[in-house]
Amino acid sequence: MPSSTSPDEEDKLETCLLKFSDLDLKESNLINPNNSLKAELDGNTKKKYSFAKKKAFAIFVKTKQVPAPSYEFKETWWRCCQQLFADQISIHRHVATQHAEEVFQHTASILKQLTASVSASQSLTSTDKRNPPKDYLIPTQEVSAWLPDISCFSPDELSSGQGDMEGEVLLYYCYCDLEDPHWICAWQTALCQLLHVTGKIRIATEGINGTVGGSRVATRLYVRVMLSCPVFKDYLCEEDFKSSKGGAHCFPDLRVGVFEEIVPMGISPSQLSYKNPGIHLSPGEFHKEIEKLLSQTSQDRGDTILLDCRNFYESKIGRFQGCLAPDIRKFSYFPSYVDKNLDIFRQKRVLMYCTGGIRCERGSAYLRAKGVCKEVFQLKGGIHKYLEEFPDGFYQGKLFVFDERFALAYNSSVLSGQGFTACCITCQDKGGKQASGSTQDSFKEECECTARRPRIPLEQQA
């Protein structure tokens, strides 16, 4: 990536990056960020302001792209604020009038990055430019520069078939500091669309969390791109991607968004950092711990708690033997569960597990922050990785997954073969009712148990 941008290069970047003939971004009535921003900039940085503003606007619009309906000849529409936009003029005006503050904040972020790039360039003149420091690896290029070459693959190879054997579903997460999550969001959207991959990806300043599906060719390309990406390559490795049979058909569409947290716990990363989790145990180490625990009498087990930090409907169809499974309906209720039951964890060794490991990262950090546990451990890679090594181990039943497959079976054991996994009558009846709004997205899930819970602040999706 370039370390600095000359005025001539800026003009070229503006021309190739932004071809918004339908909307003049220089109109101050459309985007009017705080005037104090320009006043605080030095002379050199002011020259980059126009470029930064246009780039911020372009990236924001890019993150709202969705596939056009099958009956349309064009390839792209846009979705924002629960509205669909079929042309650039309408989405541009919507963003300019309704999201000026977010574009302004992103403009400031880009200006900061451009300034950092210049400083990094100057500091690199006397060092080996082939090995730049991590802080220098800031996305300043177009999204297309970070996309793989797929010219050697046919469309059929990238398109997943309808059968489970035709493709693959990947589950992964990566905690790392991201300075520009909106740029990563635009890149991930473009990458998944290029590879015909569907699924859900959450991005925040604390990292990325994804579950995506596509053909085997597409998912292997996706992994290769992620492992070679300068932002993630020092944090991600091959084993961080949990795979299972499936494909693009396992998800209704592609959803990529920027949030405050990459797993919705309801606590700001500034208050609870991912950098203070429990001790990671490999599947083999975790297996030995459970084996030791189950070999003891109930009285001797009092020192250790095997904690399932998933939702109750997940643990109802599959769980580790001898576990404590909280009666919570959302992970954002986990902190209040811990707060109300601190005496249960006092001076105990806690062995935590979840589906893929990400909820344990935040959950174990929360437990540790309370300062009541003797030790806190977590299963690295979650149940997914454990079942890859021990399909007939101590996990009984099926593994709940948040896609169209509902659950995965690794062995013949079955738990809760009958009965509801819903938490109240309202939830049980909801499955047979149609959404009340004009679209499925307008339907808000409500039930008796939700009404009894304290409200959790909503995530801010950009």
Is residue 378 helix, strand or coil? strand
* 449 is a catalytic site residue: no
The Cα 414–Cα 438 span in angstroms is: 39
What is the predicted pLDDT for the residue at 457? 30
Q: Give the residue carrying structure tokens 């996706």.
A: 222
0.85 cut: is pTM over it? Answer: no
Q: Are strands 242-246 and 167-175 parallel, antiparallel or unpaired?
A: antiparallel
**Structure tokens that stand for 154 in this block:** 């046919």
Given a contact cutoff of 8 angstroms between Cβ atoms, the answer to whether 449 and 423 are in contact is yes
DSSP state, residue 324: B
What is the predicted pLDDT for the residue at 251? 92
**Which of 170, 274, 187 minimizes the C-alpha distance to 230?**
187
Q: Give the residue carrying structure tokens 């005037």.
A: 35
Given a contact cutoff of 8 angstroms between Cβ atoms, the answer to whether 269 and 361 are in contact is no
Q: Which of 229, 309, 354, 360 is catalytic?
A: 354
Q: Are strands 375-379 and 279-281 parallel, antiparallel or unpaired?
A: parallel
Given a contact cutoff of 8 angstroms between Cβ atoms, the answer to whether 338 and 366 are in contact is yes
Given a contact cutoff of 8 angstroms between Cβ atoms, the answer to whether 233 and 137 are in contact is no
What is the predicted pLDDT for the residue at 166? 73
Given a contact cutoff of 8 angstroms between Cβ atoms, the answer to whether 183 and 146 are in contact is no
| Complete domains list, the chain, with CATH | 7-120 (no CATH), 143-258 (3.30.70.100), 279-432+441-452 (3.40.250.10)
DSSP state, residue 31: -
Strand intervals (E) in 86-197:
167-175
What is the predicted pLDDT for the residue at 32? 46
pLDDT in tens, the chain (462 residues): 333 344 444 443 333 333 333 333 333 333 444 455 555 555 555 557 777 788 888 888 888 887 777 665 566 788 888 788 888 888 888 988 888 888 887 787 777 666 654 554 444 344 443 443 344 344 556 788 889 988 888 888 888 654 445 799 999 999 999 999 999 999 999 999 999 999 999 999 999 999 999 999 999 999 999 999 999 989 999 999 999 999 999 999 999 999 999 999 999 998 998 889 999 999 999 999 999 999 887 766 778 999 999 998 899 889 999 899 998 999 999 999 999 999 999 999 999 999 999 999 999 999 999 999 999 999 999 999 999 999 999 999 988 888 778 778 776 666 756 444 455 555 555 544 433 333 333 333 445 554 444 333 333 333
What is the predicted pLDDT for the residue at 160? 60
